[in-house]
Amino acid sequence: MTTMKRKITVAMAAALLSATAVAAQAEDYTITVWSGGTGDTSHYRVDAIEMAADLLEREAAVRGEELNITVEKQVWSGWDDFKQAVTLAAESGTAPNIIVTGHEDIGPWAQAGILRPVEDYVDFDVWPLNQLYDNLVEVSSYDGQIWGIPQDAESRPFFMSRAHLAEIGYSEDEIDALPSQIEAGEYTLYDMLEDAEAMQDAGVVEAGMAFAPRVSNGPDYWQFYQSFGGEMVDPESGQLIFDRQALTDMYQFFVDAAEMGVVPATYLGGDWDEWHRNVAAGSYGMWHGGTWHKSQWENQFELTDFFDKIAFSLIPAGNENGRANTITHPLVYLISATGTDDEAAIAAELITIASEPRINSLHAVESGHLAIGEAQASVPLYANDRWSTEATEALLPHANAIPNNADFGAYWDAMYQGLEAAWTGTSSVEDAVNMAQAQVEADLGDGIIIR
């Protein structure tokens, strides 16, 4: 071999080796993210992951590393199909790397081994996780470990039509004072029913339209259980609580409402779009929903001048045993057990970056959700949004969450089935409560305290 040939060979080998070295440094990841309950205004739940991937790639480039992340997004508008898809995909080893779901799924999914505890991958002492609200981090925890990062927060207010209240004799000042009266327990759910009935009697709303609760199952109905003094979980032992009296009073309230004719006995299972249309058209007198509904009413159902038309408050107390309350049902970013540990680490970095106040504020303001961390109050987009700030101040301090407990789903199913049975008149209130009790006793045994 001549010297020249040898030089060329060495140069080629060097070039090949250096190319290999660069290729070895480049890291390619495909991260999948699935989100339930996601509509047109809440696309940032998954889009934030894409933004985070872009940032993470840039940070790697600054360090001189090549990192390529492909984010594959999939959203479901409802929950039933989404939860079915996640659980079955997990069983077949094809679950997404990142799951965006309600915090109540942490219990059963952690037990089933579907999830990795996020605390093993991220540092809650550093930015941006160190500015998250403590209670939301607590909601994302289960059985001594932090499993998720809060994705959003909300509350579920009670709404009142200012126009219809005025039509039955309320002055503007009296309407403005109602939220405080509700908070103090001076205006109860039964006072509300009387006003609803008055609206119907005065002909300002159609029969059966004066009170419009949520049309389908949801955490909202636990608020009424709390309004009558019910507690979902014993803070000492962590055991679930089935409060017969509170459940009886709650069922009776909806039965009474149906008997008064302010809500139909066959109301449950109605159509959401129709409900939104009626709210936006001012057809209802009183109703309850979520903070995020405001953006839906404005963007999809052409509601204007929200604050002039609608008053909002906590869910009123039902009787002297209960309290005015609201439930927050934060969604959380979870890391699945599917995939390699490196993929999980990248996914964890992505959800950490997605929790940056600026990025999360895009979601919060567009979808009508509340902040997940203190620093968002300093983000102009969030701070200048009247609904976000007012709802945060008026509602969030009183909000509690449904418990993270692997057995809570069974209790929830029983509660709602009993409510349906009583409300429709299929069973008496007493039988419905007995049926729910029998069901939770059969399902949970000693895992629930009956009182």
Binding site for another protein (CB under 8 A): 79-81, 83-84, 87, 90-91, 101, 104-105, 107-109, 111-114, 117, 120-123, 125, 143-145, 216-218, 237-238, 264-271, 274, 341, 344-345, 348, 406-410, 412-413, 416-417, 420-421, 423-424, 426, 431, 435, 438-439, 442, 446-447
Closest to another protein by CB, 55 or 345: 345
Determine what percent of the chain falls in helix, strand and coil, rounding each to the nearest 5: 55, 15, 30
Measured from the CB atom, is 236 or 393 closer to another protein?
236
CA distances to 31, 66, 105, 137, 270 from 102, rounded to whole Å, are 20, 34, 6, 13, 23
Nearest CB to another protein, comparing residues 51 and 414 = 414
CB of 366 to another protein, least distance (A): 25
- Provide the minimum distance between the beta carbon of 309 and another protein in the complex, in angstroms, as a whole number: 22
Shortest approach of another protein to residue 340 CB, angstroms? 12
Of the pair 15, 442, the CB lying nearest another protein is at 442
Least separation, in Å, of the C-beta of 82 and another protein?
8
Compute the chain's Rg from CA coordinates.
Answer: 26
> Which CB atom, from 218 or from 318, has the smaller least distance to another protein?
218
Q: Give me the sign of the Cα torsion angle 276, 282, 283, 287.
A: positive
Residue 123 CB, shortest distance to another protein, in Å, is 5
Q: Which residues pair with 331 in a beta bridge?
A: 102, 152
* Strand 326-327 to 399-400 pairing: parallel
Measured distance CA(300)–CA(293) in Å, rounded: 10
Q: Which pair of tokens denotes residue 345?
A: 């680490």
> Contact 29/71 with Cβ under 8 angstroms?
no
In angstroms, what is the minimal distance from the CB of 165 to another protein?
A: 25
By beta-carbon proximity to another protein, the closer residue of 3 and 237 is 237
Report which secondary-structure segment, H or E, holds 241: strand 240-242
User: CB of 141: closest distance to another protein in angstroms?
Assistant: 11
Q: Give, in order, the Cα–Cα distances in Å from 363 to each of 295, 303, 306, 416.
A: 11, 20, 20, 30
Q: How many CB atoms lie within 10 A of CB 83?
A: 19
DSSP code per residue over 265-302: TT-TT--HHHHHHHHHTT--SEEE--TTHHHHHHHHS-
The residue among 162 and 293 lying less far from another protein, judged by its C-beta, is 293
For another protein, the closer CB: 117 or 339: 117
Q: How far is the CB of 76 from another protein (least distance, A)?
A: 12
3-state secondary structure 83-133: HHHHHHHHHCCCCCCEEEEEHHHHHHHHHCCCEECHHHCCCCCCCCHHHEC
The gap between the terminal CA atoms of the chain, to the nearest Å, is: 94
Beta carbons of 96 and 109 less than 8 angstroms apart: no
Q: Which is nearer to another protein, 81 or 174 (CB)?
A: 81
Asked if residues 248 and 225 have their Cβ atoms less than 8 Å apart, the reply is no
Helix (H) / strand (E) containing 30: strand 27-35
Q: 171 vs 426, which CB is nearer to another protein? A: 426
HEC secondary structure over 162-227? HHHHHHCCCCHHHHHHHHHHHHCCCCCHHHHHHHHHHHHHCCCCCCCCCEECCCCCCCHHHHHHHH
Q: Which is nearer to another protein, 191 or 231 (CB)?
A: 231
Task: Provide the minimum distance between the beta carbon of 137 and another protein in the complex, in angstroms, as a whole number.
Answer: 13
Shortest spacing between CB 18 and another protein, in angstroms: 25
Closest approach of another protein to the CB of residue 176, in Å: 33
User: Which one, 185 or 261, has the nearer CB to another protein?
Assistant: 261
CA 137/CA 149 separation, integer angstroms: 7
